[in-house]
Amino acid sequence: MKDKKKVLLLGPAHPFRGGIADTQNYLAQNLNALGHEVTVYTFTTQYPKLLFPGKTQFRVDNAPDQLNIKRKIHSFNPFNWSKAAQSINQLNPDYVIFRYWTPFLAPCWYVIARKIYKSIKKIGLVDNWTPHEPRFWDKTLTQLFSNQMDGFASLSTAVGNQIVSDNPQMPVWKGFHPIADHLPQAIPRGKAREALGWPKDKKIVLFFGLIRKYKGLNLLIEAFSKTSLNRSDVILAIVGEAYEPEQKYTDLIRKLNLKERIICDFNYANNQKASQVFCAADIVAQTYITATQSGVTPLAYHFKTPLLVSDLAGLRTPILEDQTGIVSEVKAEKIAENINKILSDDKLLEFQPSFQKVGDKYSWKSFGLSLMNYIGQL
């Protein structure tokens, strides 16, 4: 390959679990497939236990094939950062891509970026620019990181706009969250429900992913108590590990007398489980209170499951452009009304042709080509 580049990705990757780690693996695989020489430096330690509310940070499956992943970075040990930078200088890549989603990482990335050779292009690949649970020091830390970058790429237009607002002179590629193409293929709905033990005669609304306050699960649960959604043929399935007390939601379900209409599975879902629950669902609901993008959307696209999303820029834009679901005001009554609307059989069928059209638009190959073309022009 004439334009083959040596690329280093910094951030979570196997054996760490979660959407960002998964997409880091996918990005590395895709850049390899495009002919580039890709190395991934991930963490020896990603978060201190005090800051990690989940059950575990690690997955138990084998590493993805043909990926050169090395655990090199301790995110909160400053004595490690210079050593990591030395290792990067020895590798001497053309580009270093810093994955950024939390100001917690800013000091680490800042030191490493300062200490690597000036000839190496440094790019921030940003999932979230503004944290979901903001603190007063966030902007200062993020700007510290920004000052060391040569350019930024984002996983949504909304995130890109935030970066431009804070860094008007900085080059920014406003990208997209690619559709996962390393997941199992869709299976028939009946087979998926049988595997999960879910009823075959109900309409199922899926809430999927890590459960955090900003995702508005409480509003979705409350929507099922509203008169407009008082239907015995519609149930809610909650699938995902809770990053806050599960009891907060089970108590609400009990209080609203919804125990018979809501399935709770507060466990992390691996790829096989994700395939089953998306194929079993009639729609996916993202009733988030704040968001600039979501990894749940490309999962729904992969399995061709229509979406109901909050009226937030980072969520509504692809849904409206691609006609893959409907947008709802973030109020329980409105959510209930819109669930009723989208669950009509005619409405559900209306979205399927749209899913057939978006595969190439949001492919990892398209993302990788656009990203590398952008970096090459910096």
Domains of the chain, each with CATH number or no CATH: 6-178+363-376 (3.40.50.2000), 189-357 (3.40.50.2000)
Q: Which residue did the predictor score with more confidence, 167 or 345? A: 167
Q: Which residue did the predictor score with more confidence, 181 or 305? A: 305
Task: Provide the pLDDT for residue 321.
Answer: 94
Task: Provide the pLDDT for residue 291.
Answer: 87
Q: Which residues contact 344 (CB under 8 A, 6 or more apart)?
A: none
* In contact, 275 and 186? CB cutoff 8 Å: yes
pTM of the model: 0.91
* Nearest C-alpha neighbor of 342 from the set 198, 206, 189, 200: 206
Task: Provide the pLDDT for residue 51.
Answer: 62
| Res. 72 pLDDT band, cuts 50 70 90 | very high
Distances (CA, A) of 193 to 196, 211, 301: 5, 22, 19
Task: Provide the pLDDT for residue 364.
Answer: 93
Residue 342, by phi and psi: left (phi above 0), alpha (psi -120 to 50) or beta?
A: alpha
What is the Cα–Cα distance from 172 to 153, expressed in whole angstroms? 6
**Total count of residues recorded for the chain:** 378
Question: 368: helix, coil or strand?
Answer: helix
Task: Provide the pLDDT for residue 53.
Answer: 60
With tokens 């005001």, the residue in question is 329
Q: What is the pLDDT of residues 251-286, one digit of tens each?
A: 999 999 999 999 999 998 888 899 999 999 999 999
Q: What is the pLDDT of residues 209-258, one digit of tens each?
A: 989 999 999 999 999 999 999 899 999 999 999 988 999 999 999 999 99
Q: What is the pLDDT of residues 307-332, one digit of tens each?
A: 999 999 889 999 999 999 999 999 99
| Res. 10 pLDDT band, cuts 50 70 90 | very high
* In contact, 272 and 61? CB cutoff 8 Å: no
What is the Cα–Cα distance from 183 to 303, expressed in whole angstroms? 9
Q: Which helix (H) or strand (E) holds 218?
A: helix 217-223
Answer yes or no: is pLDDT of 351 > 60. yes
Mean pLDDT of 47-68: 71
Sign of the torsion formed by the C-alpha atoms of 168, 172, 122 and 113: positive
Task: Provide the pLDDT for residue 2.
Answer: 60
Q: Which residue did the predictor score with more confidence, 313 or 98? A: 98
